[in-house]
Amino acid sequence: MNHTVEEYKPRLHNDGGPAESKKEYLNRIHPLLPNFPDEVLLQWFYDHHHAVGQYEGLDYPTLEFEKVTWQTEDVPSSAFGPDRKIKTIEQRRHDYFEENDGGPRMSELGDYFKCHGTWPVPPIFLQNLEGNFKDSTGYRYDGAPYHLIEGHRRLALFLGFKDSGKLTESHQVFVMKAKVAEKDKQDIEG
Protein backbone atom coordinates (compact mmCIF):
# COMPACT_ATOMS: atom_id res chain seq x y z
CA MET A 1 0.00 0.00 0.00
CA ASN A 2 1.34 3.43 -0.92
CA HIS A 3 1.17 6.09 1.75
CA THR A 4 1.09 9.83 1.32
CA VAL A 5 3.67 12.19 2.77
CA GLU A 6 0.94 13.63 4.98
CA GLU A 7 0.56 10.26 6.71
CA TYR A 8 4.21 10.38 7.80
CA LYS A 9 3.80 13.71 9.57
CA PRO A 10 2.77 13.92 13.21
CA ARG A 11 -0.85 14.79 13.86
CA LEU A 12 -0.99 18.50 14.62
CA HIS A 13 -3.09 20.89 16.65
CA ASN A 14 -4.56 23.95 14.93
CA ASP A 15 -1.59 26.00 16.21
CA GLY A 16 0.85 23.71 14.34
CA GLY A 17 2.21 21.91 17.41
CA PRO A 18 2.17 18.11 17.65
CA ALA A 19 -1.13 16.61 18.86
CA GLU A 20 0.46 13.24 19.55
CA SER A 21 3.36 12.44 21.85
CA LYS A 22 6.64 11.15 20.45
CA LYS A 23 5.79 7.67 21.69
CA GLU A 24 2.34 7.76 20.06
CA TYR A 25 3.91 9.00 16.84
CA LEU A 26 6.52 6.22 16.79
CA ASN A 27 3.85 3.58 17.47
CA ARG A 28 1.77 4.87 14.55
CA ILE A 29 4.63 5.37 12.07
CA HIS A 30 6.83 2.31 12.63
CA PRO A 31 4.47 -0.02 10.71
CA LEU A 32 4.60 2.41 7.76
CA LEU A 33 8.37 3.02 7.88
CA PRO A 34 9.91 0.00 9.66
CA ASN A 35 13.44 0.74 8.32
CA PHE A 36 13.58 4.15 10.02
CA PRO A 37 15.40 4.29 13.39
CA ASP A 38 13.52 6.10 16.17
CA GLU A 39 16.12 8.90 16.24
CA VAL A 40 15.64 9.56 12.52
CA LEU A 41 11.85 9.58 12.73
CA LEU A 42 11.85 11.95 15.68
CA GLN A 43 14.54 14.33 14.48
CA TRP A 44 13.53 14.49 10.83
CA PHE A 45 9.80 13.77 10.55
CA TYR A 46 8.47 14.65 14.01
CA ASP A 47 10.56 17.76 14.81
CA HIS A 48 10.73 18.99 11.19
CA HIS A 49 7.34 17.84 9.90
CA HIS A 50 7.21 20.84 7.54
CA ALA A 51 10.15 19.32 5.61
CA VAL A 52 8.82 15.77 5.18
CA GLY A 53 7.74 16.42 1.59
CA GLN A 54 11.11 17.80 0.46
CA TYR A 55 12.55 14.35 -0.22
CA GLU A 56 9.47 12.30 -1.03
CA GLY A 57 11.12 11.26 -4.30
CA LEU A 58 13.48 9.09 -2.26
CA ASP A 59 10.64 6.58 -1.71
CA TYR A 60 10.69 6.61 2.09
CA PRO A 61 9.62 2.97 2.72
CA THR A 62 12.63 1.67 0.77
CA LEU A 63 15.29 3.74 2.57
CA GLU A 64 17.88 2.02 4.72
CA PHE A 65 19.84 3.65 7.54
CA GLU A 66 23.11 2.87 9.21
CA LYS A 67 24.44 4.73 12.22
CA VAL A 68 28.18 5.02 11.71
CA THR A 69 31.10 6.86 13.26
CA TRP A 70 33.10 9.23 11.08
CA GLN A 71 36.37 10.85 12.00
CA THR A 72 36.27 14.66 12.07
CA GLU A 73 38.18 14.89 8.78
CA ASP A 74 35.68 12.53 7.07
CA VAL A 75 32.64 14.73 7.69
CA PRO A 76 31.97 16.67 4.46
CA SER A 77 33.03 20.28 4.86
CA SER A 78 32.20 21.72 1.45
CA ALA A 79 30.66 19.36 -1.12
CA PHE A 80 27.56 18.05 0.65
CA GLY A 81 24.71 19.02 -1.62
CA PRO A 82 23.31 21.73 -3.85
CA ASP A 83 24.63 25.29 -3.64
CA ARG A 84 21.50 26.48 -1.81
CA LYS A 85 22.26 24.12 1.07
CA ILE A 86 25.88 25.16 1.19
CA LYS A 87 24.86 28.85 1.30
CA THR A 88 22.34 28.18 4.08
CA ILE A 89 24.97 26.44 6.19
CA GLU A 90 27.57 29.14 5.51
CA GLN A 91 25.07 31.82 6.55
CA ARG A 92 24.17 30.02 9.78
CA ARG A 93 27.85 29.52 10.54
CA HIS A 94 28.56 33.22 9.90
CA ASP A 95 25.62 34.36 12.04
CA TYR A 96 26.72 32.25 15.00
CA PHE A 97 30.49 32.73 14.90
CA GLU A 98 30.85 36.19 13.36
CA GLU A 99 27.66 37.98 14.43
CA ASN A 100 27.21 36.15 17.76
CA ASP A 101 23.64 35.46 16.69
CA GLY A 102 21.63 32.68 15.16
CA GLY A 103 18.68 32.34 17.46
CA PRO A 104 17.90 30.19 20.47
CA ARG A 105 18.25 26.83 18.69
CA MET A 106 21.75 27.70 17.46
CA SER A 107 22.72 28.88 20.95
CA GLU A 108 21.47 25.65 22.49
CA LEU A 109 23.33 23.56 19.92
CA GLY A 110 26.45 25.70 20.28
CA ASP A 111 26.44 25.14 24.05
CA TYR A 112 26.19 21.39 23.45
CA PHE A 113 29.17 21.50 21.07
CA LYS A 114 31.21 23.48 23.59
CA CYS A 115 30.59 20.86 26.28
CA HIS A 116 30.76 17.67 24.21
CA GLY A 117 32.75 18.47 21.06
CA THR A 118 30.11 16.91 18.80
CA TRP A 119 26.40 17.14 17.95
CA PRO A 120 23.61 15.93 20.25
CA VAL A 121 21.85 13.95 17.49
CA PRO A 122 23.55 12.47 14.42
CA PRO A 123 22.75 14.32 11.18
CA ILE A 124 21.46 12.37 8.16
CA PHE A 125 23.47 12.06 4.96
CA LEU A 126 22.26 10.42 1.75
CA GLN A 127 24.96 8.13 0.39
CA ASN A 128 25.69 8.93 -3.25
CA LEU A 129 29.11 7.36 -3.80
CA GLU A 130 28.87 7.36 -7.59
CA GLY A 131 27.72 10.99 -7.55
CA ASN A 132 24.76 10.55 -9.85
CA PHE A 133 21.80 9.24 -7.83
CA LYS A 134 18.41 10.22 -9.24
CA ASP A 135 15.21 9.97 -7.19
CA SER A 136 11.75 8.96 -8.43
CA THR A 137 10.84 12.57 -9.28
CA GLY A 138 13.85 12.83 -11.58
CA TYR A 139 15.88 15.05 -9.25
CA ARG A 140 19.55 14.17 -9.66
CA TYR A 141 21.87 14.35 -6.65
CA ASP A 142 25.00 15.24 -8.58
CA GLY A 143 28.57 15.47 -7.45
CA ALA A 144 28.90 14.91 -3.74
CA PRO A 145 29.33 11.38 -2.34
CA TYR A 146 27.20 12.36 0.68
CA HIS A 147 24.29 14.81 0.61
CA LEU A 148 23.16 16.38 3.85
CA ILE A 149 19.46 15.67 4.28
CA GLU A 150 18.87 16.79 7.86
CA GLY A 151 21.14 18.60 10.34
CA HIS A 152 21.97 21.94 8.70
CA ARG A 153 22.42 23.86 11.97
CA ARG A 154 24.52 21.07 13.42
CA LEU A 155 26.78 20.97 10.38
CA ALA A 156 27.17 24.77 10.43
CA LEU A 157 28.32 24.62 14.05
CA PHE A 158 30.49 21.57 13.39
CA LEU A 159 32.36 23.45 10.65
CA GLY A 160 32.88 26.48 12.87
CA PHE A 161 34.11 24.47 15.82
CA LYS A 162 36.28 22.39 13.50
CA ASP A 163 38.12 25.57 12.49
CA SER A 164 38.83 26.28 16.14
CA GLY A 165 40.00 22.73 16.88
CA LYS A 166 37.34 22.20 19.54
CA LEU A 167 35.84 18.92 18.35
CA THR A 168 36.18 15.33 19.42
CA GLU A 169 37.97 13.00 17.01
CA SER A 170 34.85 11.10 15.94
CA HIS A 171 31.15 11.79 15.36
CA GLN A 172 28.11 9.65 14.78
CA VAL A 173 26.05 10.17 11.62
CA PHE A 174 23.19 8.36 9.95
CA VAL A 175 24.04 7.24 6.44
CA MET A 176 20.87 6.81 4.43
CA LYS A 177 20.86 4.54 1.40
CA ALA A 178 18.23 4.82 -1.28
CA LYS A 179 17.47 2.17 -3.83
CA VAL A 180 18.04 3.07 -7.46
CA ALA A 181 15.23 1.88 -9.72
CA GLU A 182 16.21 -0.60 -12.47
CA LYS A 183 15.43 1.99 -15.16
CA ASP A 184 17.75 4.50 -13.45
CA LYS A 185 20.50 1.85 -13.17
CA GLN A 186 20.26 1.30 -16.91
CA ASP A 187 20.39 5.07 -17.55
CA ILE A 188 23.48 5.38 -15.35
CA GLU A 189 25.25 2.35 -16.82
CA GLY A 190 24.12 2.84 -20.41
Residue 185 pLDDT? 46
pLDDT in tens, 78-133: 766 666 667 788 888 888 888 888 788 899 999 999 999 999 999 999 998 877 77
Is 43 in the same domain as 108?
A: no
Question: Of the candidates 11, 28, 59, which is a domain's last residue?
Answer: 59
Q: pLDDT at residue 43 above 60?
A: yes
In order of 18, 115, 118, 160, 163, the CA distances from 156 in angstroms are 27, 17, 12, 6, 11
Residue 159 pLDDT? 92
Is 12 in the same domain as 84?
A: no
pLDDT in tens, 49-61: 888 888 888 889 9
Is 54 in the same domain as 72?
A: no
Rounded to whole angstroms, how far apart are CA atoms 168 and 166? 7
Rounded to whole angstroms, how far apart are CA atoms 6 and 85? 24
Is 99 in the same domain as 189?
A: yes
Query: 77 falls in which pLDDT band (50, 70, 90)?
Result: confident
Is 73 in the same domain as 34?
A: no
CB 144 within 8 A of CB 189: no
Is 32 in the same domain as 67?
A: no
Where in the sequence is the domain holding 187, given as residue range(s)? 63-190
Rounded to whole angstroms, how far apart are CA atoms 13 and 118? 34
Average pLDDT over residues 158-174: 94
Is 171 in the same domain as 82?
A: yes
Is 32 in the same domain as 74?
A: no
Is 78 in the same domain as 92?
A: yes
CB 158 within 8 A of CB 167: yes
How many structural domains is the chain composed of?
A: 2
Residue in 72, 155, 164 with CA at minimum distance from that of residue 106:
155
Give 139-159 as a DSSP string: -EEES-SEEEEE-HHHHHHHH
Question: Of the candidates 15, 44, 59, which is a domain's last residue?
Answer: 59
Residue 78 pLDDT? 73
